[in-house]
Every structure is written in structure tokens, then in C-alpha cells.
């Protein structure tokens, strides 16, 4: 058994051990230490499994347990190894962070059981070598995360969110099961190795693709299947939200790539699959960020950003599918790498953002951005890490988010003309949507950072916030460093990911990426496009340093004074721009898409010109919920109600129904 | 030898760009003044302003954080980094591989990000207002910008400025409607990005519709000077970018002194023409209502997209 | 790839034609709609002249002159007079958000390209590239008729459809026979005159030139009778 697989199985074993530890350990501190220590170990093991799997390849074994006639298989290939790396690189910092975060947590035992199980489920999905193991661990992941979401089940809101989550997770599971069933029908075995070799008819391939796309799309939160996501993420404990948003959504991406790219393969692709994925990606990217901009609950906002980033990942993968379908494997590899790079980037910076949000929540006791402000003075370290993540997610150099978006742009720009007019337009159009999403994300994070950390405190809680402890700071420091490293040294990291396109497309980009040395990232060739993050960073440090040094002769102190208030002496914290105000222009511009529910209530006394009070309320609902989920819910309810009345007609009606059913069945099968 | 020469040209070009930037801004406002029958403060006025501001003391609000204090340096640095990547005098400069057009746009976006954060830091209504509007409109400008870059890169199959310039220089001159559309879109975006009329008025310092200046209201002394300088560099950068992408003729191919001096003359001439046109446009146009700006930007997007379509309809099909 | 200058010119004119069609859709004010409409007429006449020069079809010069006089001058002037004399509210009132209309227009243009492009390849004419643009212009003008409230904008849309068809004819077959063209031109002129007369009549009857208002008024009348 190769080392990488051993490490991966060890990571799973450590998680299982962690889940069992409350059987022995009783004290709060002991439990906390066990959780963070074992999860951190699992994370490190998963990371090293990922690295060694990507570098030296993996292998597969038949596990000694399972059903007697259906043994379970574990396998670690390049794709699995990459996602092990993704899981490990966030699991480790989150484990460190949890040690501080759970300090004041009263009921730690359920978390101690379900967090490791959740991690185990995700790693198991990635390691699964057959459909049975995949589904088993998939459900383990869904169910354990349900218990994590409803951890604070004393609030009705949390139970509701948990229910919707469970419902949609199981619907997704059912669809994925259908997809595997279709593949099983073609291959005659649940083993992935057999499925890979089997050929499948185009019609059934399309069926399997659609089932997989909708199933994994639901779990990944692609618009319009994202209904559970903005409710479930905010109510879970923040470190769990970090894991859910950072890795669980990526596991869904993994599942999609596994089924569509690996088990079926580029030869089965049809052009409309690619167009569908591109359209889904573009609409998720723009829709997610537009909805995120309208939120004032910090964690809900971040949840919508997950929708956006899944969209960006899908744009990369969709471009890759399109290029692979039309026979440009090199460019397809570039698109795939762009998608995967964004996968790991998003895992890291979104994990960091949720941890930062958790720190803020921990200190202020609220998720509502409208009562924060000025936290940069009270929580300087958290603010720095949050800023790093905000720059990364806004796709700005020199951090990592920019690299993956840049690669996606390059893929779109280099795509030659393919197919008819629709495809001709959809590639640049999705690139434009990506640009829009990236720029709107920047706007959104100016809003988040500006409203939460800058300005004056808007409430007492915010004014008295305390910096979080060292463990939480350390937990946030690790991904922040990853953000910088992945942003500055993409040339060293891309050859690692390159194993995945090598496995799926049998082409390698490592040579052309490396062609100009480690300084320059040149996806295809230097004359087409190049970006040198180290040089840009060094250049900026040199220029900035020179300017600072030149402008800062000793003895020139900065005079502090009151802020300029246009002559009005009564300026208070409530006069600042808040989150709702910041996004007002966009609300107005995208009125048709957002359909906000706005009310202005003006109170007047004595005369219509003498206004005493103005009250403005706005609620931006989710259009998908309004026009898709609620109608489906109503339809289900009305059918149930109809059935209910049928039930109450008495024995004769019931007998008649039974009789009609029997007759119908006979007619159908006779 | 040739490496040294090209490095020195690179340095010369970057310094020239940064030093000329205030003069360019002065040139535009002088042209505008003349067009409006005023005398104007002279081409050198922005330089004098900068000198004065650098000498003045910095006054900062009591609770301003380090973001506010360091934002001017970050904004200036990112803008200057972007400016040193753009080939103004010579193609294939040592730094030109550092960033292609997209990375260039992203560097400017980094500057804007910190500018907007600085606007939010003090917690005045004006700062937040400016930040909100700036980020909103720049976000809407982004797809149009990318789309026009897309159209331009279709011919050259590249987003590297050097390759794009070489492509334009090496293909025979002919009428390409797609390029014309891309040019129109790019000009519209450049006006918006630099906060010129009809989007924002660069001369205003206190009115409710201002965008860029609203974020700078709290700045003083050398910090204000850096911010102003950065926006002047940005203007000349966009002008150089337009020149590079659409009329690159005259740019030097090698680092020989004669060619570089000639390229310098050509470049200055083209910039002057462009800025006179800018002054004319600014004098002739009124500022748009705030909520007509999205329509302006979507028009730019439609133009760029038309460029793309006409490229396939008219230029590829032949 | 060297393309003859005339070809480049025609391609450029076709692109401008597309631009004008979009501009017509994007305008807010009646007066600027008329300006762009006039520009379309002038463009048409220039195109006809260029094609006439490069292909040697002399009767196209006559078409060009006619397009210039009729479509570039006379019709816009007539419509302008109607607007001025009827004091039609000078804003164009769209039924849809302008940005949405623009996105729809882009989609339509792509569709036209998608449909016409395979046909274009059959043709050998120098002007064949313009076919898909002409089709797109026809569809865009129809979109304009669909999405505007005012009867006058609908008439402009109708005339723009005619312009685009004329453009298509130049592009596809180097123009229609002169006699047909003259016939059509007079038809259009007469149609415009009749429209003009109708506007006055309609205004007297309904007190409005908005199509919706007319319909509402008719429904009222039905209720009364």
C-alpha cells in the first residue's frame, strides 16, 4: 500500500478516534484538547496524504469491511489527493482555532462527536473507490453536518434551517444515487475502476450527467439549488461554518468532477452539458454576489459568497469541459487547473473569513453588521487576518484569489472559436460575468470590512469588544499565510495540481507554466500572457518603502484632531454609512433581479412639511425561494391536503382507491 | 549591454510617466480653461499644489486606523507599479512580463480597494458615500473593460501588452469595425474609471454627487498629495494604454537612444492630442445624473460586445 | 489577409448600421430617436453609393440619392413636424427596462448571426457578410416596435424595418430592380403621410398617442355602448 494511502487512512482513523474520545474523556478541558489535537493531527495527515499522493501517486485497496458480497474499496488518485490536500489545509487551522473557540461552549460533547465524524465523512467521500462507499460517507457527511447545524437547537430558526438543509441534502443524495445507478446499469459493477472502463450510451450518459449535476449542484449551492445554504451556514458554530463552506461544498465539486470527468470522461461530453455548467456557473457567480451585497448578517453574507465562488469554480470547470469537448486538451487542462486552484483558494480564504466572523461574533455577540464598527481598534489582529481574506476573495493581487481568477480569464481569452453562435458568445459572456462578480465581490468586502472594522462603533457591544485568544489568532494566521503563499508562488503550486489534468486529460501543463522560471506564471506561453506575482510584490514593497522613507523625515508628527463634520457639532456613529446604505445603489440598479421589499414610513406632526421621524425598512428576499421553493412547498401541501380529504371519506372511498390501483397495476403489467 | 540599456529605458519610462502625470493633469485643466474662456492656472499648477501639500503638516482624525494612514502609500504604490508595466516608449521592457492587461487592471483595483476602505475609515457620511459609489460603478465598468480587452486580444491571441502592440504594428492597416467598437467602449470606460465628466467631476470638492473626492475629504498634507498624484498617474496610464492598444505606431522596438527619444516625442504628441480631445469632451458634456451612470456603463458593455459580434460576423467569416 | 478597400468600407458601414440600430433602441428622447433614424437613412444611401461604385451597378446611384432624400431628410422631417405640432411628450416611454432591452437586443443579434451565418457562406458576393447584420437590424427594429409605448416610436420602428430590408437587399443582391425600389419608396412615403394624418385624427379622438391609452379608451367605449 503506498504511503499516501496509508496517510489518508490514518487521517480517517484519527478522526474516528476523535469521535469516540468522549466515551473516555469527561472533563471539558480534556475534551476540548482531544478534539483540537486529534482534528489537527487528522488535518496534517490529510495534507501530507494529499502532497504525497500528488507527487508520488496513490493506489487502491479493498477494505476489510463492508457487506459480504460488496466489499468497500478505498482509492487515492491524483484527484482524490488534491481534495485531501484541500480538506487537510483547512481542517488543520480550524482545529487549532476550535481550541479557543470552544472555551466558553457549554455543551461540547455533541460537537466532539459530530465534528470528527463530519471530517471523516468528507475524507471518506474523497477516498471512496466504489459507489457504495461514496454514498455511505456522503450520507455520513450530510447527517453529521445536520447535527452540527442544529447544535444550538433551542432557537426555532436553527431547527428550521437544519430541517431545510437535511431535506435538500437528501434530495441531492437521491439524485446522486440515481446517477450512480445509471452508471451501474452501464458497467455492471459499483466499483469505480470498472465504471471507468465501461462505455455508456449518449442518452444514458446525459441522464447520469443531469442527475449528477443537479445532485452535486444542490450540495454545492449552485443557483437556484442554493436554498439551504444561506440559512444553514449562519446558524452553525463558526468553525463548523468554516468547514462546511470551505470544504463540504468542495467535496460536492469533487463528486461532480469524479462522476463527470473521471467515471464518464471527456469523450462522453456533449456541448450542451458544458453550456449548462457555464450558465450555472455564471448565474451563481453574479447572483450569489448580488444577494451577498444585500445582506447585513455577516455570516449569511459570507454564505452567499460561497454561492458566488462555487460559480467561479464552475466557470473554470465548464470552460475546461467545453475545450475538452472540442478537442483542445491543453487549454482544457488550463481551465481545470484554474477551477481547482480556485477550489483550494476558496477553501482557505472562506475558512479564514468564517473564522474571522466567528471571532467577531465571539467578541460582540452579534452577527448583525449594523451594530458593529470600529473593531479594528479593539481587535487589531483579527482585523489584519480578515483583511487578508477580504483582499483574497476580491481577487486582488498579490493574494491567491487573483491567481485563480486570472487563470480562468486566460482560459476564456485563449479559447478559440468553437461551435455555433451560442458557444461563440457564451465563453466571453461568462468571462464578463466573472469580471462583474469579482468586482462586485470587491465592493462587498469594502462594505464588510468598512462597516465591521472601520469607522465608529455602532453599539455598546462593539465598543467593548475584546481581542480573541492566541489559539484563535493562530488558527486564523495559518490560512492567512497560505493565502499569501498561494498568491505569490503559484508557479510552484501549479505543477502539483498538474497531476489532476494528467490523470483526466493525459496532458501536462507543467512545462509551459515553468517555461520562464519560477518568477513568471505563463499558462501557455510568455508571449500570450504572463503574471509575476513575486516581482509585482517586490516592486510594490520597494516603491512603497522608498516613498515612505522619503516622506517620513524625523520630527514630523501627525497631528490628531476631530474629524471634519461640515460644521455640524452633533455627529454621531449612526450617521455613518451602514451596510444597508452602502448597497443602496446596487439595490436600485439591480432592482429587477433583487425585487427588494422597501418601505419608507414618514411620521409628520402639525403640518405635512414638519417631519418628526423617518423610518426606512428593506427586506431583500431570495427570488429562488420566492418563485421556486415556496411554490413547490405549496404544491406539496395542497396535494397532501387533497389526499387528507380523500382519507376522510370513509372506508368506501379507500376501498375504491385500492381497487382502482389494483386495476391500474394489472393493466400496466399484464 | 542590451539588458542594461533596456533596464535603464524601463526606469526612465517609469520616472517620466510619474513626473509627467501632474503636468498632464495641468495640461487638461488649462485646455479646459481656455475652452471656457478662462486663463487657467497654468500647466505647472498641479506640481505647485503637490509641492505645497508635501510641505504641509498632516492632520488626521482621532480614531483613524492604520488603514487610513497607509492607504495613500498602497494606492500610490499599486498605481505606480501598474504604470511601470505599461510600455510607453519601448516594447518588451524588463517589467512588461510582470503583468498583462488583466493583472494591470487588477493592480488598479487594489488601489481602488484601499482608497474605498480609507473612505470608510473615518466614519463620515461623505466617505462612505464615496466608497459605495466608487465600488458600485467600478464593478459595473469591469465587464465592459474585460469585454473590450477580449475583443482586442482576439486578433493578437494574447493579453500581453507587448505582444498586442507588436501584433497591431505588424498587421496591415485596415478598417476593423470590431476594433472601433472596442475603442469606443474603452474610451467610455477610461472616462468612468478616472472620474471625468460625465461620471464624476474632477474639479469639484464639495457637492453631493462627487465620488472620488468624497473619499479624500479627510486627507491632508503628504497623504493627500500622494492620493492626488496617484489619480494623476492613473489618468496618464489610461491614456498610454489607449495609445498602446489602438495607435502604437512610433514606439521603439529596441533600446537605442535615438529610437527612444523619437518614441518619446511620438508618445507625448499622442497624449497631447488625446488630452485636448478629453478637454473638448469635458467642456461639451454635462455630468450625468447618478443613476444614469449604470446605463452609460451598460452602453459601454453593449459596444464592446458588438465589437465581439462584428469581429465574428465581418472579420472572421471572410 | 488583405481585403479590398471597398469591402472594408462596406463592412464598416454594416457595423455602423448595427450600431445605429442599437442606438435607436437606447434613446430616451424622441428628438434623438429621429436624429438616429436620419443617420440610418444617410448610412443607407452611402452604402448604396459604395456598392454602386464598387460593383458597377449604376442604378444603385439612383437608389442612393433616393435613400438620402427620402430616408435621410424627408421622413425624419415629417415625423419631427408631427411631434412638434402635436406636442407629443418628448420622452420615449419604454415598456421594459433599457438595460434588459439591450441584453435582449444582443441575444437577438447573436441569434440572427446563428441563423444567417450558414446561408452567407453560399453567397459569392462581396457584400455577403452584411446579410446577418441586416437581419439583426430588421429584428432589432421590430424589437423597438414591440417595446415602446408611443405610436410614433412604433412608426419609426416600422420605417427602420424597411431601412434594414433595403440594406439587406443591397447586401444580398446588389439592390432590387430600380422600379421596385421606387415603388417601395413611394409606398413608404405615402405610408408615412397616412400615418401623419392618422396621428392628427387619433389625437382628436383619443387625446393621446399612447397605444395603451387608445386601447383603454376603446374598451371604455365598448362598455358604454
The 10s digit of each residue's pLDDT in A197-252 is 888 899 999 999 999 999 999 999 998 899 899 999 999 999 999 999 999 999 99
Cα separation, A105 vs B105, in Å, equals: 46
Classified as helix, coil or strand, A395 is coil
The answer to whether C19 contacts B314, with C-beta atoms less than 8 Å apart, is no
Give me chain A's average pLDDT, please.
90
Q: What confidence tier does C206 reach under pLDDT thresholds 50, 70, 90? A: low
Give me chain C's average pLDDT, please.
79
Q: Is B267 in contact with B241 (CB distance < 8 Å)?
A: no
Judging by DSSP bridges, how do beta strands B59-61 and A559-561 pair with one another?
parallel
Q: Is pLDDT above 80 for B5?
A: yes
Q: A267 vs A420, which has greater pLDDT?
A: A267
Q: What angle do CA C167, C171, C173 make, to 5 degrees?
A: 115
The 10s digit of each residue's pLDDT in A4-29 is 999 999 999 999 999 998 888 888 88
Tell me the mean pLDDT in the region C96-111. 85
Closest CA to B185 of B302, B266, B312, B92: B302
Nearest by CB: B175 against C8, C102, C132: C8
Q: C210 vs B264, which has greater pLDDT?
A: B264
B276/chain A closest Cα distance in angstroms: 31
pLDDT on residue A223: 87
Closest CA to A447 of A263, A618, A585, A597: A585
Percent of all residues in chain C with a pLDDT value above 70, rounded to a whole number: 77
Cα separation, C171 vs C129, in Å, equals: 8
Judging by DSSP bridges, how do beta strands A70-76 and A559-561 pair with one another?
unpaired
pLDDT on residue B1: 52
The 10s digit of each residue's pLDDT in B79-120 is 999 998 898 888 888 888 888 889 999 999 999 999 999 999
What's the grid cell of residue B204?
A: 469639484
Nearest Cα residue in chain A from C106: A425
C-alpha A353 chain-centroid distance: 11
Q: Is A372 in contact with A451 (CB distance < 8 Å)?
A: yes
Q: What confidence tier does C178 reach under pLDDT thresholds 50, 70, 90? A: low
Nearest Cα residue in chain C from B311: C15
Most confident of A302-311, A606-615, C166-175: A302-311
Tell me the mean pLDDT in the region B212-238. 92
Most confident of A131-140, C8-17, C178-187: A131-140
The 10s digit of each residue's pLDDT in C45-89 is 998 888 888 877 777 888 888 888 888 888 888 888 888 877 776
Cα dihedral sign, A646-A651-A653-A659: positive
Window 212-271 of B, Cβ < 8 Å to C: none
Cα separation, A266 vs A269, in Å, equals: 5
Q: Is A202 in contact with A604 (CB distance < 8 Å)?
A: no
Percent of all residues in chain C with a pLDDT value above 90, rounded to a whole number: 10
Please state the domain extents for chain B.
2-316
What's the grid cell of residue A565?
A: 463634520
pLDDT on residue C122: 66
pLDDT on residue A419: 65
The 10s digit of each residue's pLDDT in B284-308 is 988 888 888 998 999 999 999 999 8
The answer to whether B316 contacts A581, with C-beta atoms less than 8 Å apart, is no
What's the grid cell of residue B93?
A: 521592457
Q: Which phi and psi angles does B80 have, rounded to 5°?
A: -70, -35
The answer to whether A421 contacts C100, with C-beta atoms less than 8 Å apart, is no
Tell me the mean pLDDT in the region A539-555. 85
Query: What b/e sequence results for B149-182 when a residue is b if at least 16 CB atoms lie within 10 Å of its CB, and e otherwise?
Result: bbbbbbbbbbbbbbbbbbbbeeeeebbbbbbbbb
Q: Is B132 in contact with A440 (CB distance < 8 Å)?
A: no
The answer to whether A425 contacts C110, with C-beta atoms less than 8 Å apart, is yes
Closest CA to A332 of A324, A340, A341: A324
Tell me the mean pLDDT in the region A375-402. 94
Q: What confidence tier does C126 reach under pLDDT thresholds 50, 70, 90? A: low
Q: Is pLDDT above 80 for A418?
A: no
Identify the chains in contact with B, defined as 3+ C-beta pairs within 8 A: A, C
Q: Kindly list the residues from chain A whose CB atom is less than 8 angstroms away from the CB atom of residue C139.
A: none
Q: Kindly list the residues from chain C whose CB atom is less than 8 angstroms away from the CB atom of residue A420.
A: 114, 117
Q: 3-state SS string over A617-638?
A: EEECCCHHHHHHHHHHHHHHHH
Which of A102-116, B188-202, B233-247, C204-218 has the lowest average pLDDT? C204-218
The answer to whether A421 contacts C117, with C-beta atoms less than 8 Å apart, is yes
Q: Which helix (H) or strand (E) holds A206?
A: helix A202-220
Give me chain B's average pLDDT, please.
89
Cα separation, C148 vs B270, in Å, equals: 43
Q: What's the alpha-carbon Rg for chain B, to the nearest Å?
A: 20
Cα separation, B42 vs B20, in Å, equals: 14
CB pairs under 8 A between B and C: 69
Q: Is pLDDT above 50 for C1?
A: no
Tell me the mean pLDDT in the region A283-288. 94
Q: 3-state SS string over A120-136?
A: HHHHHHHHECEHHHHHH
User: Virtual CA dihedral for A349, A353, A354, A355, nearest 10 degrees?
Assistant: 100
Tell me the mean pLDDT in the region A127-151. 93
Query: In the beta sheet, which residues pair with residue A70?
Result: A67
A238/chain B closest Cα distance in angstroms: 25
Q: Is A309 in contact with A445 (CB distance < 8 Å)?
A: no
Q: What confidence tier does C205 reach under pLDDT thresholds 50, 70, 90? A: low
Percent of all residues in chain A with a pLDDT value above 90, rounded to a whole number: 56
* Chain C contact present for B175, CB below 8 A: yes
The 10s digit of each residue's pLDDT in A479-500 is 999 999 999 998 889 888 999 9
Q: What confidence tier does B318 reach under pLDDT thresholds 50, 70, 90? A: very low
DSSP string across A457-525: -SSHHHHT-----HHHHHHHHHHHHHHHHHHH-HHHHHHHHTHHHHHHHS---HHHHHTTTTT-B-SS-
Query: In the beta sheet, which residues pair with residue A191?
Result: A130
The answer to whether C114 contacts A592, with C-beta atoms less than 8 Å apart, is no
The 10s digit of each residue's pLDDT in B151-188 is 888 878 888 888 888 888 888 777 788 889 999 999 99
What's the grid cell of residue C219?
A: 374598451
Cα separation, A310 vs A440, in Å, equals: 15
Q: What angle do CA A625, A630, A633 make, to 5 degrees?
A: 135
Closest CA to A492 of A51, A8, A44: A51
pLDDT on residue A97: 95
The answer to whether B150 contacts A431, with C-beta atoms less than 8 Å apart, is yes
Q: Is A451 in contact with A404 (CB distance < 8 Å)?
A: no
The 10s digit of each residue's pLDDT in C161-174 is 888 888 888 877 76
Q: What confidence tier does B2 reach under pLDDT thresholds 50, 70, 90? A: confident
Q: Which of A400, A536, A580, A590 to mutate to test the interface with B (most CBs of B within 10 A)?
A: A536
Count the neighbouring beta carbons within 10 Å of the beta carbon of residue C108.
17
Tell me the mean pLDDT in the region B113-139. 92
Tell me the mean pLDDT in the region B177-203. 89
Q: Kindly list the residues from chain C whose CB atom is less than 8 angstroms away from the CB atom of residue A422.
A: 110, 114
Judging by DSSP bridges, how do beta strands A611-619 and A70-76 pair with one another?
unpaired
Amino acid at each position: 500500500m503506498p504511503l499516501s494511502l496509508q496517510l489518508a487512512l490514518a487521517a480517517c482513523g484519527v478522526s474516528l478516534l476523535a469521535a469516540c474520545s468522549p466515551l473516555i474523556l469527561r472533563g471539558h478541558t480534556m475534551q476540548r484538547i482531544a478534539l483540537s489535537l486529534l482534528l489537527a493531527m487528522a488535518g496534517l495527515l490529510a495534507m501530507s496524504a494529499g502532497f504525497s499522493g500528488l507527487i508520488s501517486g496513490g493506489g487502491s485497496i479493498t477494505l476489510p469491511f463492508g457487506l459480504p458480497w460488496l466489499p468497500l474499496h478505498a482509492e487515492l488518485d491524483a484527484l482524490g489527493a488534491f481534495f485531501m490536500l484541500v480538506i487537510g489545509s483547512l481542517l488543520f487551522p480550524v482545529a487549532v482555532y476550535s481550541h479557543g473557540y470552544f472555551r466558553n461552549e457549554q455543551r461540547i460533547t455533541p460537537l466532539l462527536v459530530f465534528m470528527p465524524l463530519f471530517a471523516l465523512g468528507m475524507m471518506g467521500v474523497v477516498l471512496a473507490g466504489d459507489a457504495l462507499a461514496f454514498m455511505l460517507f456522503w450520507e455520513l457527511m450530510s447527517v453529521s453536518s445536520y447535527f452540527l447545524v442544529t447544535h444550538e437547537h433551542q432557537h426555532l430558526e436553527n431547527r428550521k434551517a437544519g430541517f431545510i438543509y437535511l431535506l435538500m441534502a437528501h434530495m441531492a443524495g437521491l439524485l446522486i444515487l440515481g446517477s450512480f445507478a445509471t452508471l451501474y446499469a452501464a458497467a455492471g459493477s459499483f466499483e469505480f475502476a470498472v465504471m471507468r472502463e465501461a462505455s455508456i450510451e449518449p442518452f444514458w450518459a446525459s441522464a447520469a450527467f443531469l442527475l449528477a449535476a443537479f445532485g452535486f449542484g444542490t450540495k454545492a449551492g449552485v443557483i437556484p439549488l442554493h436554498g439551504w445554504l444561506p440559512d444553514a451556514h449562519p446558524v452553525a458554530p463558526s468553525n463548523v461554518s468554516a468547514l462546511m463552506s470551505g470544504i463540504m461544498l468542495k467535496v460536492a465539486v469533487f463528486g461532480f468532477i469524479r462522476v463527470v470527468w473521471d467515471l464518464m470522461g471527456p469523450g462522453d461530453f456533449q456541448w450542451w452539458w458544458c453550456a449548462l455548467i457555464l450558465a450555472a456557473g455564471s448565474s451563481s457567480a453574479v447572483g450569489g454576489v448580488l444577494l451577498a451585497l444585500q445582506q447585513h448578517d455577516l455570516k449569511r453574507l459570507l454564505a452567499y459568497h460561497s454561492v458566488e465562488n462555487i460559480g467561479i469554480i464552475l466557470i473554470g470547470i465548464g470552460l475546461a469541459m467545453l475545450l475538452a469537448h472540442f478537442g483542445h486538451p491543453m487549454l482544457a487542462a488550463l481551465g481545470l487547473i484554474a477551477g481547482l486552484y480556485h477550489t483550494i483558494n476558496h477553501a482557505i480564504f472562506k475558512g479564514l473569513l468564517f473564522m474571522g466572523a466567528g471571532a467577531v461574533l465571539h467578541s460582540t455577540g452579534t452577527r448583525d453588521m449594523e451594530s458593529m464598527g470600529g473593531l479594528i481598534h479593539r481587535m487589531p489582529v483579527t482585523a489584519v487576518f480578515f483583511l487578508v481574506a477580504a483582499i483574497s476573495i476580491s481577487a486582488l493581487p498579490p493574494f491567491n484569489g487573483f491567481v485563480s481568477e486570472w487563470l480562468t480569464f486566460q482560459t476564456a481569452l485563449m479559447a478559440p472559436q468553437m461551435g455555433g453562435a451560442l458557444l461563440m458568445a457564451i465563453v466571453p459572456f461568462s468571462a464578463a460575468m466573472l469580471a462583474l462578480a469579482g468586482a462586485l465581490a470587491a465592493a462587498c468586502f469594502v462594505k464588510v470590512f468598512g462597516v465591521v472594522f472601520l469607522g465608529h462603533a455602532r453599539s455598546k457591544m462593539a465598543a467593548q469588544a475584546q481581542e480573541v485568544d492566541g489559539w484563535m489568532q493562530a488558527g486564523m494566521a495559518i490560512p492567512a499565510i497560505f493565502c499569501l503563499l498561494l498568491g505569490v508562488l503559484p508557479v510552484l503550486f501549479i505543477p502539483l495540481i498538474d497531476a489532476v489534468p494528467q490523470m483526466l486529460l493525459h496532458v501536462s501543463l507543467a512545462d509551459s507554466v515553468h517555461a520562464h522560471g519560477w518568477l513568471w506564471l505563463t499558462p501557455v506561453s510568455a508571449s500570450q500572457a504572463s503574471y509575476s506575482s513575486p516581482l509585482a510584490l517586490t516592486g510594490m514593497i520597494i516603491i512603497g518603502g522608498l516613498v515612505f522613507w522619503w516622506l517620513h523625515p524625523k520630527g514630523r508628527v501627525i497631528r490628531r484632531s476631530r474629524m471634519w463634520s461640515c460644521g455640524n457639532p452633533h455627529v454621531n456613529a449612526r450617521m455613518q454609512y451602514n451596510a444597508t446604505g452602502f448597497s443602496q445603489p446596487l439595490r436600485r440598479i439591480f432592482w429587477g433581479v433583487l425585487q427588494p421589499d422597501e418601505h419608507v414610513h414618514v411620521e409628520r406632526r402639525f403640518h405635512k412639511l414638519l417631519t418628526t421621524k423617518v423610518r426606512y425598512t428593506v427586506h431583500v428576499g431570495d427570488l429562488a425561494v420566492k418563485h421556486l421553493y415556496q411554490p413547490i412547498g405549496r404544491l406539496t401541501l395542497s396535494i397532501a391536503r387533497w389526499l387528507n380529504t380523500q382519507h376522510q371519506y370513509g372506508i368506501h372511498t379507500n376501498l375504491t382507491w385500492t381497487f382502482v390501483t389494483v386495476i391500474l397495476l394489472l393493466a400496466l403489467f399484464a | 549591454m542590451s539588458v542594461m540599456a533596456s533596464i535603464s529605458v524601463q526606469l526612465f519610462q517609469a520616472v517620466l510617466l510619474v513626473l509627467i502625470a501632474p503636468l498632464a493633469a495641468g495640461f487638461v485643466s488649462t485646455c479646459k480653461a481656455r475652452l471656457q474662456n478662462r486663463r487657467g492656472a497654468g500647466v505647472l499648477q498641479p506640481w505647485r499644489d503637490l509641492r505645497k501639500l508635501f510641505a504641509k503638516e498632516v492632520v488626521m482624525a482621532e480614531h483613524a486606523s492604520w488603514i487610513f494612514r497607509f492607504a495613500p502609500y498602497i494606492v500610490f504604490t499599486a498605481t505606480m507599479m501598474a504604470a511601470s508595466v505599461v510600455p510607453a516608449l519601448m516594447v518588451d521592457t524588463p517589467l512588461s512580463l510582470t503583468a498583462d492587461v488583466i493583472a494591470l487592471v487588477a493592480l488598479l483595483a487594489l488601489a481602488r480597494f484601499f482608497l474605498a476602505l480609507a473612505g470608510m475609515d473615518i466614519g463620515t457620511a461623505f466617505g462612505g458615500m464615496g466608497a459605495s459609489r466608487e465600488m458600485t460603478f467600478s464593478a459595473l465598468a469591469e465587464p465592459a473593460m474585460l469585454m473590450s480587452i477580449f475583443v482586442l486580444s482576439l486578433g493578437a491571441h494574447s493579453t500581453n501588452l507587448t505582444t498586442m502592440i507588436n501584433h497591431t504594428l505588424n498587421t496591415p492597416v485596415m478598417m476593423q469595425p470590431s476594433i472601433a467598437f472596442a475603442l469606443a467602449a474603452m474610451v467610455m470606460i477610461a472616462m468612468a474609471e478616472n472620474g471625468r465628466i460625465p461620471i464624476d467631476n474632477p474639479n469639484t470638492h464639495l457637492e453631493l454627487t462627487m465620488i472620488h473626492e468624497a473619499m479624500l475629504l479627510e486627507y491632508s498634507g503628504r497623504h493627500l498629495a500622494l492620493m492626488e498624484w496617484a489619480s494623476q498617474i492613473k489618468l496618464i496610464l489610461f491614456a498610454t494604454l489607449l495609445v498602446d492598444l489602438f495607435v502604437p505606431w512610433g514606439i521603439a522596438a529596441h533600446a537605442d537612444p535615438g529610437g527612444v527619444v523619437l518614441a518619446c516625442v511620438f508618445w507625448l504628441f499622442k497624449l497631447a492630442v488625446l488630452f485636448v480631445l478629453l478637454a473638448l469632451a469635458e467642456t461639451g458634456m454635462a455630468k450625468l445624473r447618478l443613476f444614469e451612470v449604470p446605463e452609460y456603463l451598460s452602453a459601454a458593455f453593449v459596444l464592446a460586445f458588438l465589437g465581439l459580434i462584428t469581429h465574428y460576423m465581418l472579420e472572421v467569416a471572410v | 489577409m488583405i481585403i479590398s478597400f471597398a469591402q472594408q468600407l462596406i463592412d464598416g458601414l454594416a457595423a455602423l448600421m448595427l450600431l445605429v440600430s442599437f442606438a435607436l433602441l437606447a434613446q430616451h428622447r424622441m428628438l434623438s430617436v429621429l436624429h438616429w433614424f436620419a443617420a440610418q437613412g444617410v448610412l443607407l444611401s452611402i452604402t448604396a453609393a459604395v456598392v454602386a461604385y464598387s460593383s458597377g451597378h449604376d442604378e444603385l446611384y439612383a437608389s442612393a440619392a433616393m435613400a438620402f432624400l427620402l430616408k435621410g431628410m424627408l421622413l425624419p422631417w415629417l415625423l419631427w413636424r408631427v411631434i412638434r405640432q402635436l406636442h407629443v411628450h418628448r420622452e420615449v416611454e419604454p415598456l421594459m427596462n433599457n438595460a434588459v432591452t439591450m441584453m435582449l437586443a444582443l441575444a437577438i443579434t447573436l441569434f440572427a448571426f446563428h441563423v444567417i451565418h450558414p446561408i452567407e457562406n453560399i453567397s459569392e458576393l462581396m457584400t455577403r457578410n452584411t446579410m446577418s447584420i441586416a437581419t439583426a437590424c430588421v429584428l432589432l427594429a421590430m424589437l423597438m416596435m414591440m417595446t415602446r409605448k408611443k405610436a410614433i416610436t412604433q412608426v419609426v420602428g416600422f420605417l427602420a424595418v424597411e431601412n434594414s430590408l433595403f440594406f439587406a437587399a443591397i447586401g444580398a443582391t446588389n439592390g432590387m430592380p430600380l422600379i421596385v425600389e421606387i415603388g417601395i419608396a413611394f409606398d413608404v412615403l405615402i405610408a408615412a403621410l397616412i400615418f401623419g394624418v392618422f396621428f392628427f385624427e387619433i389625437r382628436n379622438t383619443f387625446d393621446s398617442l399612447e397605444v395603451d391609452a387608445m386601447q383603454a379608451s376603446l374598451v371604455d367605449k365598448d362598455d358604454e355602448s
